[in-house]
A and B are shown apart, each in its own frame.
Chain A
Amino acid sequence: MSSRDDILASVRANRPRVDRPLPTVPMFDGGKPASLLAAFKDNLHRMGGVFLDPPATGDPLAPLRAKIADAKIVCSTVPEIAGNRDIASLGKPRDLADVDFAIVRASFGVAETGSVLLSDADLRVNAVAYLAQHLIVLLDPADIVVNLQHAYRRPEFRDRHYASFHTGPSATADIEGVLIHGAQGVRSLSVLPLARATGNITH
């Protein structure tokens, strides 16, 4: 017998005799916050992320431009802003090791946790979100769901090969419980609320 058959036979033989049908899982969305964006912002902040407040008037990308003003290497996967490292012509993921800022758009955000979901389609090369020193994420406020229960109903979890919730930057407290940002991945995560472009893309 193959190992697979052995293991499955053993599981069948040892299955506990309990009659427990699958429970119906509620959506846990009773106390929905008045503003999903405000709740998202609070929770993102709690997890060490930075929320870039959009300016009242003028260039909505101004806070982003200020962030990357001194950066040497910027890799962007979004049409709203151009970088100077083209992700499409990349040889290997490790070629992204010298990127200072990566700019991507999230599939959606989660108000409950302050998370953004980045899929392989959003990232183009998955490693860019971990090898870059800093990560800036564009998020359409219309793309925020209330909680994880709603999040897992999104199509990305059935369509994409890779999808990751990012909640703040890379963090560790492995030495004496002292919180450090930038353990192995990005040192900072900033989220800029910005509606998805619908045609008029300016570079």
Chain B
Amino acid sequence: MRSNGIHVHWARDAAEHNHIVHGILSDHGARSLIKSKSMLTEECGFRPYMASVGIEVIETDLGERIQQLDNEDPSHVVVPAVHKLRTDVAEVFAKTIGTDPANSEVHYLAEAQREATRPLILAADAGMTGGNFAVAETGTFVVCTNEGNADLSANVPKLHIASIGIEKIIPRLEHLAVFVRLLSRSALGSPVTQYTSHFRGPREGGEMHIVLVDNGRSERLGMEEFWTSLKCIRCGACMNTCPVYRRSGGLSYGATYSGPIGLIIDPTFNQRKYSNLPFASTLNGSCSNVCPVKINIHEQIYAWRRVLAERHESSLAKRVEMKAAGELLSRPAAYRAAIAAADVALAHLPRFVIYNGLNAWGKHREVPHPPQQTFHSWYQANRGGK
């Protein structure tokens, strides 16, 4: 990359990444930055940092822009605003870019956003992209989008900065052919993204910087059970198939990476903060089944539970519950008695006993109606003699 005229920077962590990018922008007197979607910059808390130093960041991906205008994190790695209905978008755009609040026609909303963003793209002092892949053989980095917004970000302003995780480096161009196919097929089911752009050096009169970011990746490489999560190409297939993700949505994870891949990546950043995430899974294995780079996601989710339990990162309440559950589940007769008693209790106890601080499940919702009889007693009555 250096011999092709690219300025190469290295960042150990998120803070160093943000500091480096800020430095480059300051050197050029840049006050506004247009950027395409990058999970790495989400991971680095890049936008809040830039706001704190007075540099305006404009997201150019439609979904990411909706989320930025709504002050909300992306809920999906490929489709950031997937949880929003068109009426939600109409509400956000009416407040922020002055569209008609009563018009939630999708073409109208997308067109309004195009027209509102175009002047910002033309006036920006600098452009920023992520990188889906980087090829060691040629010093190329590759950015895949469907909107063409990364190419606008990279090719309209004079200065282009790309932030790339060190795990994105692959050996040769012949390998790139395999990964480019995998990404779009697994993300959206299309043979390739609309735009697959290869950057090998600055354009004439332009300047190009890349920031190679570690932020825990090299350390993760040494975790015997978990290092293969570094193979992730952020296609989102595991999210799209996950019954928990599909019900709860990406924002409920409260972390940069949601869905099954998030469950095994997020704890590498902060075991205590994300200690609950690996428990948000049914271990059905659908994620591992669809993963194009063959990460054993559900097995790693299970392994994380063990690691977190051993390190006592789970809460006291959970540990007490789990110990009690362990005792109960190891004795079938006691279990059956407890279930029957609980069903009766749920049907007759006053609300304040069921809905209190100890029952996290009942904080925002009703507990399910107890069945008339347990499956075991039904089976005994109907099939027991056969």
Contacts and interface: CB of A to CB of B under 8 A. Distances in A.
B174 A183 contact: no
Contact of A167 (B60, B89, B188, B194): B194
A152 B176 contact: yes
A165 B151 contact: no
Interface in A1-53: 2-4, 6-7, 10-11, 13-16, 22, 25, 43, 46-48
B73 interface: no
B45 interface: no
A180 B181 CA distance: 23
Contacts of B329: none
B146 A7 contact: no
Nearest to A168: B194
Contacts of B121: 184
Q: How large is the interface on A (under 10, 10 to 19, 20 to 34, 35 or more residues)?
A: 35 or more
Interface string B179-217: 011000000101111111111111110000000101000
B180 A148 contact: yes
Contacts of B69: none
A47 B190 contact: yes
Interface stretch (A71-79, A80-88, A123-131, A190-198): A123-131
A180 B196 contact: no
Contacts, number: 203
Contact of B138 (A158, A171, A182): A158
Interface stretch (A60-68, A112-120, A136-144): A112-120
A166 interface: yes
A127 B156 contact: yes
Chain B CB within 10 Å, residue with most, of A114, A165, A174 = A174
A127 B205 CA distance: 13
B178 A25 contact: yes
Nearest to A10: B218
Nearest to B224: A16
7 contacts: A25-B178, A47-B190, A148-B180, A148-B192, A152-B176, A162-B199, A184-B118
